[in-house]
Amino acid sequence: MLETLMSKVRGYIPNDRLRVVVDAYEYAEDAHRGQTRKSGEPFIEHPLQTAVALADLRLDADALAAALLHDVVEDRHDISIEDIRERFGGQVANLVDGVTKFTEAEMAASAGGGGARTVSAQAQAETIRKMLIAMSEDIRVVLIKLADRLHNMRTIRYLPPAKRIEKSKETLDIYAPLAHRLGIWDLKWKLEDMAFQQLNPEEYRSISLRLNSTRRERERYIENAKVILRKELEKAGIGCEVLGRPKSIYSIHCKTAKYALQNKTVDDIHDLFALRVLVDSVQDCYAALGVIHTRWHPVPGEFDDYVANPKDNLYQSIHTTVVAEDVHSVEIQIRTHEMHQLAEYGVAAHWLYKEGDAGDESFDKKVVWLRQIIEGLKDVTEAEEFLESAKKDFFADHIFVYTPLGELKELPAGATPLDFAFRIHTDLIFRCIGAKVNGKLVPLTYQLRNGDTCQILTSKTVRRPSLDWLNKDLGYVKTGSARAKVQQWFKRQERSVNIQRGRDLYRRHIHRLTSLRDERVAALMGIGKLDEFLAQLGDGSLSVAHVVNKLSSREKEAKDEVRHQQELGMPISSSAGIEVLGVGDLLTSVARCCNPISGDKIIGFVTRAKGVTIHRLSCPNILHEDEPERLVPVSWGSRTEVRYPVRIQVKSMDRVGLLGDITSLVSAEKVNITSCVSEEYDDVSIITLTMHVSGTDQLSRLFFDLDSVKGVMSVRRTNL
Ligand code: MN
């Protein structure tokens, strides 16, 4: 049995290191003697297969030994990590220790979820956290864990159904994305396909049947394309190897699902074609690309150059999709042999031939991004928030952005300059005062795009972050780790400071919108104590936008109530919504004799003292009116919605044209001003406006506009 492993290992591990692998095998076989797996095989088969998978990735002797020993300490209580350290050395012992801790976290996770049920968020968060920490210490721990999972998935049919589902979900949620992030594609696809087969057996069968039934046609087509491609490249003097590339069942499933969402249909085999071109040099990559695009039409938007912009997980390749021979689109990957090796082995390639060599500094630099993400995540304390952050920061779609010095940073899609600043140095976020993208100033909410160069403009000193950064709707910060850092800043402030900040926010943004007392607004938000309400506003756990929304939905309810009364035929209390044609804004009131309601045919009567009263056209009082010259045509008008009278006060530096600026702004919002009083004190002028607005949201918009008028110092609502 050991021979399977040794035949793979002899090719690349130096002879003097083979001994430790054999030793570890014998030690493990002895330790697990008499133990069997659910499949009935001797237990040693499991650590052995784990080591074989790692040998395929060409991992070093210490990692293989640790893989062989990975279950020993856990299964044999009489063998400790110290025993392993004594016999196999510190490296092997640390790796085994890491894997064991990892496994303990995993078991705790399953136990927390009751085994058969889905793992609780708390437990899953804990697993990921331990995993990330173990990984930041030594990536080989995770590689061993991935190989361990691979063999467990291969033998999953021996587990009860509920356990199978649980393990498969975990594999798809955590392990496959992890393999992806580490660039070990081969392992990723295997894990995905096996998990998918358990979770969605019907779909799995249907796709594999489709693959089989089209196999002959596909092979003929691909063979033909290969021949043409090889000939063209040879003609151009490019030495190459052209390979057909199998696509995984799970990746086809994802593509079909994506197309279905976009309402696009795929002809059945469209996505099943793939080719790979291996060449000798980077220069040849681009030369080959030129040849391919000359011969076959590229599909727009389906091009990625990871040769010029390698991924942080070291992956390099040119991806293009072309329509080959005017029939099918074919995905083609172009890379050098060296890049190919990296693409196959991912970070594991680091250990290739490394045995006995000095450490690889450039590699350490390249996995710095990993450590940074993990560092950032350490600050997130809530389990669910941690999980959300980890998923977003670690497993989401990523973009690549350059620093001005040409260094690449990887960020989740949708990240902003603040996220970028955080990624460069976690404290830089507190010195950021602006950003330039590709040489141009951008707002801090700018969403970075793949290939952008971003420069962070900084102040010399640390500045107070803005609470707006925590508001998800405003889009300043995308990554959970950066948001946690900002949140932490506010939480660490004294409560009194938070209350004061909350009070300022309240005065500036909320108080002026409502006539409710402050305590009532707090109560509306479900907070009994005003101080607590202000503290929450001040530390960012409650956002201004949230409070404003609550206030305006409350007003909307009140308005609906009025409208409801109108529909019921109750008299309306104001003249709201009535236009008197040709007379301008006269005082109107509804006649009590006939109580017209919205939709009735109406006519106005000009009274001597109360302006115009509105009657139904059929009202007997009107029919018998002996002064017909006092009747005026009226209509319900187009604005039948209810409007609220409000009074606001604008305090401003006095200047020529101020009043005009303000009133034209107000009418631009389509708000009618019913009165306007202006008073001057020295250089300051106070303008009091009475007007009708449709609600709090409109008033809020208006305040926002008025704030930006030149000279305006404050705007607030006053009592009517
Ligand atoms: Mn195991």
List the single range of 62-66, 104-108, 187-191 with lowest mean pLDDT: 104-108
CA-CA distance, 537 to 523, in Å (whole number)? 14
pLDDT at 46 over 90: yes
pLDDT on residue 654: 84
What pLDDT does residue 356 have? 39
Cα distance between residue 347 and residue 366, in whole Å = 10
The CA distance from 31 to 236, in Å, is 60
- pLDDT at 431 > cutoff 80: yes
Judge whether residue 78 has pLDDT over 60. yes
> Residue 118: its pLDDT value, please?
46
pLDDT of 113 reads 43
Higher local confidence (pLDDT), 294 or 67: 67
Beta-bridge partners for 712: 652
Does 301 score more than 50 pLDDT?
yes
What's the rounded Cα separation, in Å, for the pair 458 and 429? Answer: 9
Question: pLDDT exceeding 90 applies to what percent of the chain?
Answer: 19
d(CA 383, CA 125): 6
Catalytic residues: 74-75
CA atoms within 13 A on the CB side of 60: 19
Cα–Cα distance for residue pair 386/129, rounded to 1 Å: 8
- Which residue segments constitute the domains of the chain, with CATH numbers given? 2-198 (1.10.3210.10), 209-347 (3.30.460.10), 366-425+433-463 (3.10.20.30), 493-542 (no CATH), 552-632 (no CATH), 644-718 (3.30.70.260)
Is 681's pLDDT higher than 80? Answer: yes
pLDDT of residue 117: 40
* Per-residue pLDDT at 23 exceeds 90: yes
Structure confidence by residue, pLDDT tens digits, 442-466: 989 999 987 788 999 988 887 888 8
If you count them, how many residues does the chain have?
Answer: 720
pLDDT at res. 574: 40
Does residue 393 carry a pLDDT above 90? Answer: no
Q: Which tokens belong to 456? A: 């962070």
Task: For residue 92, report the distance from its CA to the centre of ligand 1, in Å.
Answer: 16
The segment with the largest mean pLDDT, out of 25-29, 140-144, 245-249, 355-359, is 25-29
Q: What is the DSSP string of 21-46?
A: HHHHHHHHHHHTTT-B-TTSSBTTHH
How far is 682 from 686, CA to CA, in rounded Å? 11
* CA 100 to ligand 1 centroid distance, Å: 9
For residue 173, name the pLDDT band (cuts at 50, 70, 90). Answer: confident
Distance (angstroms) between ligand 1 centre and the Cα of 411 equals 33
What pLDDT does residue 84 have? 93
Q: How far is the CA of 340 from the centre of ligand 1 (A)?
A: 30
pLDDT single digits (tens) 256-270: 777 776 666 555 445
3 neighbors 46 (Cβ within 8 angstroms): no
Of the candidates 84, 91, 13, 19, which has an alpha carbon nearest to the alpha carbon of residue 55? 13
Long-range contacts of 75-81 (CB under 8 A, 24+ apart): 75/31, 75/32, 75/35, 75/43, 76/31, 79/31
49 CA → ligand 1 middle, Å: 10
**3-state SS class at 291:** helix
**β-sheet with 440-442: strand ranges across:** 440-442, 432-437, 454-458
pLDDT, averaged across the chain:
79
pLDDT of residue 112: 47
Residue 691's pLDDT band (cuts 50, 70, 90): confident
The strand pairing partners of 631, in sequence order, are 605
CA of 45 to the centre of ligand 1 (A): 10
pLDDT of residue 358: 40
CA of 154 to the centre of ligand 1 (A): 12
With a cut of 80, say whether residue 36 has pLDDT above it. Answer: yes
pLDDT, one tens digit per residue, over 668-678 is 888 888 888 88
Token readout for 336 is 């050098």
The dihedral formed by the CA atoms of 324, 325, 328 and 329, expressed in degrees to the nearest 10: 20
pLDDT at 128 over 50: yes
Strand ordering across the sheet containing 684-693: 672-681, 684-693, 644-653, 712-718
Mean pLDDT (whole number) for 559-580? 47
Distance CA 26, CA 65 (A): 10
> What pLDDT score does 710 carry?
87
How much distance in Å is there from the Cα of 156 to the middle of ligand 1? Answer: 13
Encoded tokens for 296: 């076959």
pLDDT at residue 204 is higher than 70: yes
pLDDT band for position 44 (cuts 50, 70, 90): very high
Task: Provide the 3-class DSSP secondary structure of residue 318.
Answer: strand
Q: Report CA Rg, the chain.
A: 36
How far does residue 48's CA lie from ligand 1's centre (Å)?
10
Residue 312 makes CB contacts below 8 A (sequence gap 6+) with 366, 369, 400, 408, 409, 410
Centre of ligand 1 from the C-alpha of residue 72, in Å: 9
pTM of the model: 0.54
Q: Kindly list the distances between the CA atom of residue 501 and the CA atoms of 101, 484, 523, 537, 543, in Å, as whole numbers in the listed order.
A: 44, 19, 19, 8, 12
Rounded Cα distance, 281 and 335, in Å: 8
Could you list the beta-strand ranges (E) of 491-583: 579-580
Angle (CA) 352-393-255 rounded to 5° is 80
